[in-house]
Structure 1
Amino acid sequence: MRRHLLFGTELYALPILQPIAAAARAQNAEVAWFLDGGAAGHALPSGELRLRDVAAVRRWRPDAVFSASNDVPHVFPGAKVQVFHGFSVGKRSEGRGHFRIRGWFDLYCTQGPATTRPFQALADQLGHFVVAETGWPKLDPLFAAGDAAAGLRAAAGGRPVVMYASTFTERLTSAPALIDEIARQIATGERYWLLTLHPKSAPEWMVRYRALAGPHAQFLQADALIAMLRAADVLVCDTSSVVPEFALQGKPVVTFRNNAVQPYMIDIGEAGALEPALRRAFAPEPALRSALDTLSAQIHPYRDGRSSERVLAATEDLLAGRIRPRAAKPANRLRKLQSRLHLRYFGPAG
């Protein structure tokens, strides 16, 4: 029986890792969690096994560790599997952003051709990891049967539903620029709004957007993201990985000063342009619909809700030796020391 450890450092890791946990249990594997950083204070549902320190992880001895973070503790036993915390949205250069190789992982489970091609090229060049295109586990519930969003739509009372989300990056966030216009629109009651901010957003904006909740709007945490994505008809955002996640459903997106504008986006530069952009989004032209279809084919062509199963299958191929890196991972001495200091662990590794 396999043992799989789920590792996350932010609250948004939970909806990425939970589908893997469910798929692993369906295959009679044992599952445990290790939450660090911003996720450390989050309570898991009753019955979940949570390991609190490195010693507990080493006693449990996982076969694989699935990380929804940029790194993973090298002192944990098991194969290290990267499942990503979002899509590449061009916030940073490739050398610093989505395609940065930090030397922690044995297997990268990519989301679609747009990520598979660059990571495979890096694997061919570096040799110390392998790549498998699996789709993204977080989106399994997005395409699954059932309707987790029914409650949110019921609250809308038949009105059109707009979702607002924003990145935390100070130079990219739309939260300061759009709050007055969003507050004005919420007050009219014409549409129902679902509001969320990145967990790392400045406290000031968390407070002000929470205060908009009422009969025409709800504020929700990041762990309710999938239900929000399913419930909303249109998204308003900026430069956040939520943008492609939402657009994969074939639903229009209004972006505010996106730093890598794509054909499937309706991008605006001023708050006053939001209302006309929303009107366009609720009646998208054929060219916009075609651009949404093209996006899906490139970044996440899977609609079967079984990406977690493909992640587990690729991991089993790695564990069984059917796929394997051809070179050892880099020494990473400084990063490993920093990791040990953070975890307060100085015993054996791996």
Structure 2
Amino acid sequence: MKRFLIHISQGYSIPIGKPLQKEIRERGYEVKWFSESENAKKYLTDEEELLETVQEVMDYNPHIVLVATDSVPHFFPGIKVEIFHGFLVNKWSFKKGHFRIRGFFDLYCTQGPSTTGPFNELKKKHGYFEVVETGWSKVDPLFEETNTMQRINEKPTVLISSTFTTRYSLAKIPEVYDEIKRLSLLGKWQFLVILHPMMDPSIVEKFKNLENENLKYFDTTDIIPILKIADVMFSDTTSAIPEFILQRKPVVTFRNTKPMPHLMNIEKVEDIEKIIEKAFTYPKEVMKEIDAYIEFTHPYRDGKSSKRIVDATLAFLEKDRSYLKKKPLNLLRKFKMRKKLNYFKF
């Protein structure tokens, strides 16, 4: 029986692992979880079997480690598979962002052409890992007909989502907050609010206190059900934007650092209401750009990315990998990882 380990570092990565857990168990394989973050652990439920210590991971001896974070302990048994903790959102530079190669992974399961192309180029350059385009497991439930959440009412529904990074966050701009409050009190739209799990607690409290019959705040890491009941998103640069757009729904962004044609970007607070109003019409020119973006970013709408990931990892596990180069020594990173986890057994 194959043994899988899902490795996360943040609570918001749990919904990435859950569809994979379901797929793995349906095949009769074993799956357990590991996280070094106490905060992430508190979001796990009884459905997830958690390994509390590094020694428990070593004793479990996984064949495959599915990693929804940027790095993984090199000394964990099994092949190391990067499944990513978000989409490419162009916040960071090429070298420091999505395409940073740390020398720990054997296989990258990419989300679509926008990531597959660059990772294939990096594969040619480095030579010690493989790349397979699979789609992203987190969005599998996005394409299921059923939903665990119902619409609050029949009003046009706006989902407000904001990143925690101060220089990008619309939630931290007082004038934007005041405008959201004003619009919610008008009563013509239903507002749903989700903030990044690492958002400043004071900002979270402000939005919780804003709740009224037309605005509801959600404290959850499982945002997919909320995405499904909203018609339009109002956001900044948060990584939830691509997830929402995959549904073919418009996104209004406020001062996005790299506005692109598929986004309805605005710079002024006084434009928020009218552009959201326009977004509800699903403008043809915007929808055309959204369709092109989807094809480039994540063209899979069948809800079977988890299946493709498991297939790819099992195939990679069984294949002759002697053609791959050795991974770099990475001595400093390896030492830092051992120190972080306080594990120095060899």
TM more than 0.5: yes
**Aligned AA (2:68):** A
Partner of 2:62: 62
Gaps (5+ residues) in structure 2?
Answer: none
Q: For residues 58 and 259 of structure 1, what CA distance do their matches in structure 2 show?
A: 43
Partner of 2:114: 114
Q: CA deviation at 1:57?
A: 0.4
Contact 1:213 1:219 in 2 (8 A): yes
Matched, 1:295 2:293: yes
SS of residue paired to 2:74? coil
* Cα distance change, pair 23–40 in 1 and its aligned pair in 2 (3 A): same
Deviations along 1:73-98, one digit per CA (max 9) or x if unpaired, are: 11211111111111111101101101
Partner of 1:161: 157
**Aligned AA (1:95):** K
Q: For residues 29 and 206 of structure 1, what CA distance do their matches in structure 2 show?
A: 40
**Aligned AA (2:193):** L
* Cα distance change, pair 162–311 in 1 and its aligned pair in 2 (3 A): same
SS of residue paired to 1:235? strand
Q: CA deviation at 1:41?
A: 3.8
Contact 1:129 1:325 in 2 (8 A): no
Gaps (5+ residues) in structure 1?
Answer: none
Q: TM-score, normalised by structure 2?
A: 0.96
Partner of 2:168: 172
Contact 1:317 1:323 in 2 (8 A): no
SS of residue paired to 1:187? helix
Deviations along 1:5-61, one digit per CA (max 9) or x if unpaired, are: 111111110011100100000111101011222644415222431100110001011
Q: For residues 145 and 322 of structure 2, what CA distance do their matches in structure 1 show?
A: 35
Deviations along 1:84-137, one digit per CA (max 9) or x if unpaired, are: 111111101101101111111111000000100000100011011110000000
* Cα distance change, pair 135–323 in 1 and its aligned pair in 2 (3 A): farther
**Aligned AA (1:293):** D
Q: 1:118-129 maps to which residues of 2 (within 5 A)?
A: 118-129=118-129
Partner of 1:7: 7
Q: 1:25-44 maps to which residues of 2 (within 5 A)?
A: 25-37=25-37, 39-44=39-44
Partner of 1:207: 205
Matched, 1:187 2:185: yes
Q: For residues 315 and 16 of structure 2, what CA distance do their matches in structure 1 show?
A: 21
Q: 1:1-350 maps to which residues of 2 (within 5 A)?
A: 1-37=1-37, 39-150=39-150, 153=151, 155=152, 157-177=153-173, 178-321=176-319, 326-348=324-346
Q: For residues 332 and 193 of structure 1, what CA distance do their matches in structure 2 show?
A: 47
Q: For residues 225 and 76 of structure 2, what CA distance do their matches in structure 1 show?
A: 33
Residue-pair matches, total: 344
Q: Which deviates more from structure 2 when the two are superposed, residues 74-83 or residues 113-122?
A: 74-83
SS of residue paired to 2:216? strand
Q: For residues 47 and 292 of structure 1, what CA distance do their matches in structure 2 show?
A: 36
**Aligned AA (2:5):** L
Contact 1:198 1:222 in 2 (8 A): no
Contact 1:11 1:222 in 2 (8 A): no
* Cα distance change, pair 272–64 in 1 and its aligned pair in 2 (3 A): same
Q: For residues 91 and 179 of structure 1, what CA distance do their matches in structure 2 show?
A: 23
**Aligned AA (2:253):** T
Contact 1:186 1:193 in 2 (8 A): yes
Contact 1:12 1:223 in 2 (8 A): yes
Q: Which deviates more from structure 2 when the two are superposed, residues 29-38 or residues 17-26?
A: 29-38
SS of residue paired to 1:159? coil
Q: CA deviation at 1:138?
A: 0.3
* Cα distance change, pair 325–64 in 1 and its aligned pair in 2 (3 A): farther
Deviations along 1:140-170, one digit per CA (max 9) or x if unpaired, are: 00002312232xx0x2x21111101111111
Q: Deviating runs (4+, > 3 A) in structure 1?
A: 38-41, 322-325
The two structures, once aligned, show a CA RMSD in angstroms of 1.4
**Aligned AA (2:303):** G
**Aligned AA (2:190):** Y
SS of residue paired to 2:206? helix
Contact 2:197 2:221 in 1 (8 A): no
SS of residue paired to 2:132? strand
